[in-house]
Structure 1
């Protein structure tokens, strides 16, 4: 690291392999989404299934907003400064997360879940593409395609439950 009157220069090395901590902090946050969907599936038709599904939606929305913040955070350290693709991705992910949260709070589970599924799908597709150009860490090219399907499938299960509920 080099400091001068105009700023700071940082030299960093990113591994292509997924670091151990990225596995822990990548898959760990997906577990409550998977557990929420499995619990809602198990409780179908019982009074608590709605509450479990709602809590899972709130949690998944908060993680999606966090992932938007990851994109913004990486943009601060991007060579040449933030890229338009990073900023647009951040805004779209945050908008989907916030929109999902608001829809869930208003009792609109189907739009909420649709926004979450779209958001996590975008992360699964865009992060590997942005990793090639330095928009996100290189390890995301390998991590996101195996991490995000856990959330996508779990949220699709919640959507299926909601669409097939008798009430």
Structure 2
């Protein structure tokens, strides 16, 4: 790192391999979505509904967090934030916030659909961003394996809602 009166220059090395901490903090948060969906299917009545709602809330938190990750990465992008980084951050945040609002207004199916769109966007856009230097290189390998775990849980919840279950 070099610092002068106008700012500082940071030189960083990004691994292509996913760092161990990113494996734990990447895959771990997807598991409650999958577990919540399984519990929503397996548990009767109110317990199943509660498990489904908690899984939806957790997925909301994760999607909003991922929008913040995108913004945070943009602070360290060579040449400054790109329009794609800011646009993606705003898309993810908007989908997460809209899903939270939908859940608040009793539109669980709509909330889940918005989350599916958001998680799908992450799975598609993060590898592209990694290739363009707008996200860490390892996102190209992590996201296509990580995000489908959450998507599986969300699609399980969506299927349950559409079939008239909890």
- TM-score normalised per structure 1: 0.97
Equivalent residue for 2:77? 78
Name segments (4+ residues, structure 1) moved above 6 Å. Answer: none
The separation in 1 between residues aligned to 2:6 and 2:84, in whole angstroms, is 26
The separation in 2 between residues aligned to 1:166 and 1:130, in whole angstroms, is 38
The separation in 2 between residues aligned to 1:18 and 1:69, in whole angstroms, is 20
The separation in 2 between residues aligned to 1:160 and 1:37, in whole angstroms, is 10
The separation in 1 between residues aligned to 2:6 and 2:32, in whole angstroms, is 44
Equivalent residue for 2:60? 61
> How many Å apart are 1:47 and its aligned residue?
2.0
The separation in 1 between residues aligned to 2:53 and 2:102, in whole angstroms, is 11
Equivalent residue for 2:112? 113
Structure 2, unaligned stretches of length 5 or more? none
- TM-score normalised per structure 2: 0.97
The separation in 1 between residues aligned to 2:134 and 2:113, in whole angstroms, is 26
> How many Å apart are 1:105 and its aligned residue?
1.3
Q: Aligned with 2:45: secondary structure? A: coil
> How many Å apart are 1:41 and its aligned residue?
1.1
Q: Aligned with 1:8: secondary structure? A: strand
The separation in 2 between residues aligned to 1:51 and 1:146, in whole angstroms, is 28
Equivalent residue for 2:15? 15
Q: Aligned with 2:3: secondary structure? A: strand
Q: How many residues align?
A: 166
Equivalent residue for 2:5? 5
Question: Are 1:136 and 2:125 counterparts?
Answer: no
> How many Å apart are 1:52 and its aligned residue?
1.2
> How many Å apart are 1:90 and its aligned residue?
0.1
The separation in 1 between residues aligned to 2:48 and 2:93, in whole angstroms, is 27
RMSD of aligned alpha carbons: 1.0
Q: Aligned with 1:154: secondary structure? A: helix
Range that drifts further, 63-72 or 99-108: 99-108
Shift in CA distance, 23/166, structure 1 to aligned 2, threshold 3 Å: closer
Question: Are 1:32 and 2:59 counterparts?
Answer: no
